[in-house]
Structure 1
C-alpha cells in the first residue's frame, strides 16, 4: 500500500470520531496538531499507534495496510453516551432526535453544542430515574409491526455489550448511521447481527467495535392508536398467509 494511504487512514479515524486536528492531537498526546501527519509530512509515531490501539481499538496492521480488519476486539466495548445535557436544575434531559437530526447524529456525537440545540424534556415517572434516556423518531418500516415510521421511542443508555438481550430492541449508533434493531451476538466472535422485525429486511452484520452508542428501547410514543392496531392486525394476517402458502407448496411437493 502506498505510504500516502497510511495518512488517509489516520485522517479517516479522526473524521469518524468528529475531532478537530487539535483535539485529536491532544487525545493522542501530540504537542501540536495532527496536520503534519495527515499531509504526509511526518510518519505516524509509535506512541500515536499505541494510543490509537488503546483508546479506539485501531488495528496497527490496518493502519499500515497490512490487514483489512480495522478494529481489534477488546473484552468490553464502551457504548455509553458521549454527550449528556441537563436542565436548569441540573437534572438530565431526555433529548429528542427526530428523523432529520438522526442523519447528522453520528458526525456530531461528541458535540455538546449540537445536542443543546435539540429539543429536550423530562418525564416525572420512577421508570425514568437514575439513568440516561434519549428519544429517537422511527424512520422506515424495518421494525414493523411493533414500530411504525414516525413514532417516537425512548431508549435507556447501555454501558457495554455484555448485558444485551436478544429479546429487546436497541437504537444502535455507528460511525455513519442510527438504526433501531434487535441484536444477536455471535459466539466467539467480535461481530453482531442487527436484526429487523420486518422479514423483508436482511440482518446487518457489523464489527461491535464500530458501535459508538447503544440505547435499549424502553417505551414508545404513538399518536394514532387505531391505525396502529389495524396495521398490526394486517401485518399479522399477511405473515400468516405467507406461511400458509409456503406450507401448501411443501405439501404439494
Structure 2
C-alpha cells in the first residue's frame, strides 16, 4: 500500500468511522472501488478530485503527503472559533489494520514536535488491542500522580482521535491533550468551553496538588479521548478491607459500651 492509499484509509477512518460503504456513498463511488484502493490500487485523477471536493481535502496532502490534511482556517463568527483538525500520520500492520502507536513518557517532549512527522511516528512502538476498532488510536504512558487515583503513575491509556473539538470533547471525560501549555502530563479530565469562552479547562483528579489549567484551543495539536486504561501494578485491597473490618468492630464495641 503506497502513500495515497494509506491516506485514503486514514480519510475513511476519520470521516466514516472505518466503514467502506459509508465512505463510498460520501464520495459517490462504488464500494468495490474503495476496497481496491485499500488493497493497493492507486485511484484515478477524477477520484482524487472527488475526495478533495467532497471532503475539502488539501490536494497536496492526498497526493504528496505534504501540508495539512485540510486547508482549514479558524472560522470566527460571533466571537467563536471553530477548531477541527486531523492526525497527519497513522501506521498500519501487514494486514492493513491500524496500529496503536505508543508514546512513552520518555518521548513526550519529542512527540510534541514530531506528532506530524511520519519518520518519528513510525519509529515508535506499536500494538493491537482487542475491541478497539473503527477509529484512530494512540497509547500514552502516565507519569506522576496528577490523575491519581484514577490513573496511577506508570500506567498506560489508549485514546481515540477526536476530530471535532467543539462538539466532541465532553465535560468530565478524560482526554490526552497534546499542547505545549500542559507541562505536567498529557492526560486530563476536561471541561469544554471552547465555543462559549474559547477555553478548554484541563483538570487533574488529584486536585489538591495539581491546579486546573486553562488551555487556549489555538495551542492544541491533537486531542485523544481515553478509551482504555492499562495498569500493571495491581493493588491488593486486603489492607483496605482490614481497616474497614477494624472500624466496624470499633463501632460495635462503642455501641455496647454506650449506656442504653
Provide TM-score, normalisation by structure 2: 0.57
- What residue ranges of structure 1 are gaps of 5+ in the alignment? 1-26, 28-53, 60-71, 238-253
SS of aligned partner of 1:135:
strand
1:74 Cα deviation after fit: 5.8
Q: 1:39-87 deviations in whole A, cap 9, x for unaligned? A: xxxxxxxxxxxxxxx746499xxxxxxxxxxxx9764312432211111
Q: Which residue of 1 aligns with 2:199?
A: 191
Instruction: Judge conservation of contact 1:79–1:214 (CA < 8 Å) in 2.
Output: no
Q: How does 1:120-199 map to 2 (within 5 A)?
A: 120-123=126-129, 125=130, 127-161=131-165, 162-175=167-180, 179-186=186-193, 188-199=196-207
Instruction: Give structure 1 regions of 4+ aligned residues with deviation exceeding 3 angstroms.
Output: 54-59, 72-75, 175-178
User: How far, CA to CA, are the matches of 2:75 and 2:114 in structure 1?
Assistant: 21
SS of aligned partner of 2:201:
strand
- What residue ranges of structure 2 are gaps of 5+ in the alignment? 1-59, 61-70, 245-260
Q: Which has the larger radius of gyration?
A: 2
1:168 to 1:205, Cα distance in 2 relative to 1, 3 A: same
**Is 1:101–2:91 an aligned residue pair?**
no
Instruction: Judge conservation of contact 1:98–1:136 (CA < 8 Å) in 2.
Output: yes
1:176 Cα deviation after fit: 6.2
User: How far, CA to CA, are the matches of 2:92 and 2:105 in structure 1?
Assistant: 22
**CA RMSD after TM alignment:** 2.9
User: How far, CA to CA, are the matches of 1:179 and 1:97 in structure 2?
Assistant: 11
**Is 1:216–2:221 an aligned residue pair?**
no
Q: How does 1:202-213 map to 2 (within 5 A)?
A: 202-213=211-222
Provide TM-score, normalisation by structure 1: 0.59
SS of aligned partner of 1:104:
helix
1:78 to 1:58, Cα distance in 2 relative to 1, 3 A: closer
1:95 Cα deviation after fit: 0.3
Pairs aligned (count):
167
Q: Which residue of 1 aligns with 2:3?
A: none
1:139 to 1:73, Cα distance in 2 relative to 1, 3 A: farther
Instruction: Judge conservation of contact 1:73–1:209 (CA < 8 Å) in 2.
Output: no
Q: Which has the higher contact order (CA 8 A, sep 6+)?
A: 1
User: How far, CA to CA, are the matches of 1:219 and 1:190 in structure 2?
Assistant: 28
Q: Which residue of 2 aligns with 1:84?
A: 90
SS of aligned partner of 2:196:
coil
SS of aligned partner of 1:209:
helix
SS of aligned partner of 2:107:
helix
Instruction: Judge conservation of contact 1:191–1:207 (CA < 8 Å) in 2.
Output: yes
Instruction: Judge conservation of contact 1:173–1:179 (CA < 8 Å) in 2.
Output: yes
User: How far, CA to CA, are the matches of 2:224 and 2:79 in structure 1?
Assistant: 21
User: How far, CA to CA, are the matches of 1:73 and 1:174 in structure 2?
Assistant: 23
Instruction: Judge conservation of contact 1:107–1:176 (CA < 8 Å) in 2.
Output: no
Instruction: Judge conservation of contact 2:177–2:187 (CA < 8 Å) in 1.
Output: yes
